[in-house]
Amino acid sequence: MGVVTDIRDRSRAARLVPAVLRARAGRSGKRTVSLFWRIFSLNAAGLVVATALLLGPVTVSTPVLPHEALILLAGLTALLAGNAVVLRLGLTPLHRLGRAMSTADLLVPGARPEVAGPAEAAELIATYNTMLDRLQAERAAGAGRALQAQERERHRIARELHDEVGQTLTAVLLQLKRVSDRVPGELREEVSLAQEATRAGLDEIRRIARRLRPGVLEELGLASALRALTAEFTHHGLTVAHHVPGDLPPLTPEAELVIYRVAQESLTNTARHAAADRADLTLRPLPGGIELLVRDNGTGL
């Protein structure tokens, strides 16, 4: 897992970016000349020069003389070449924007195309960058709301399992204990088996409730929660070793929850599908974030 950032901080930063981009686009628009005026100025300059030459030493005979045709052809070539250069310089930012749009991925935030070129192109690129920032901010906010809703639902299910199903099984276990003291000897073994099955079901309900609502994460922090998680999965032939330092950088509750859930899902997949007998969980700080690495010696896909 790469860098985990606070969703709220990202949302605030994303709201600031459009204003900065608009300010940059405004300043860029004052410095650059629009594509319209570039082409118009070049054509106007060519026509003015041609008119001045025709009114001066250059004349066109009827029929056109060879040297006059060469002069006209040279002027037309220069005018076309100037137009081509102006259009190439003006459309290059749009081509760069097209490449950026074809490779844009909201799941992988990347670099933005540079706000440059004629005023129209600079304004279009700035608008596109603003749109990307807004979409990424909305996606991050939506992911945060989905995570919160999922956790609320997990807590509700865990509470109902503990309060409803757990208490019911506890009552059944106590009733079986009273029955076991009164039944004849030939039935006592069967009642004991029923007690063991009920006790195993109660333990499983409690284990599921703990996984749905990791109280140790809220009470003791991420490092202790990950160590407890590895101890929980060390069973049924699977040995999970952990390498979790105690001096982790400060993280938001949302970031700690995401890291814990990723580790939990990774170990669950290892236990169910990897056919492994050993797994390693490593959590280490990196510049600007946290890296979570889960490895096993299973068969893989």
H, E, C per residue of the chain:
CCCCCCHHHHHHHHHHHHHHHHHHHHHHHHHCCCHHHHHHHHHHHHHHHHHHHHHCCCCCCCCCCHHHHHHHHHHHHHHHHHHHHHHHHHHHHHHHHHHHHHHCCCCCCCCCCCCCCCHHHHHHHHHHHHHHHHHHHHHHHHHHHHHHHHHHHHHHHHHHHHHHHHHHHHHHHHHHHHHHCCCCHHHHHHHHHHHHHHHHHHHHHHHHHHHHCCHHHHHHCHHHHHHHHHHHHCCCCCEEEEECCCCCCCCCHHHHHHHHHHHHHHHHHHHHHCCCCEEEEEEEEECCEEEEEEEECCCCC
- Residue 107: pLDDT band with limits 50, 70, 90: confident
- Residue 160: pLDDT band with limits 50, 70, 90: confident
Check residue 11 and give its pLDDT.
Answer: 39
Check residue 219 and give its pLDDT.
Answer: 79
- Residue 56: pLDDT band with limits 50, 70, 90: low
Among the listed ranges 37-41, 56-60, 65-69, 292-296, which one has the minimum average pLDDT value? Answer: 56-60
**What is the CATH code for 214-301?**
3.30.565.10
pTM, 2 dp: 0.52
The mean pLDDT value for 136-152 works out to 83
Q: Where are the domains of the chain?
A: 7-146, 214-301
Cα 180 → chain centroid: 58
Structure tokens that stand for 290 in this block: 């946290």
- Position 136 pLDDT exceeds 50: yes
Instruction: List pLDDT tens digits, range 210-242.
Output: 777 777 787 788 888 899 888 888 876 789 999
Quote the CA–CA distance of 40 and 82 in Å, as a whole number.
11
Check residue 166 and give its pLDDT.
Answer: 82
Quote the CA–CA distance of 11 and 9 in Å, as a whole number.
5
Among the listed ranges 27-31, 38-42, 139-143, 295-299, which one has the minimum average pLDDT value? Answer: 27-31
Check residue 295 and give its pLDDT.
Answer: 92
Which of 40-44, 74-78, 167-171: highest mean pLDDT? 167-171
Check residue 58 and give its pLDDT.
Answer: 63
- Position 6 pLDDT exceeds 60: no
Check residue 247 and give its pLDDT.
Answer: 79
- Which residues partner with 281 through β-bridges? 242, 294
Specify the pairing of strand 239-243 against strand 289-296. unpaired
- Position 139 pLDDT exceeds 80: yes
Mean of all residue pLDDT scores within the chain: 78
Specify the higher pLDDT residue, 300 or 294.
294
Distance between start and end Cα atoms, the chain: 20
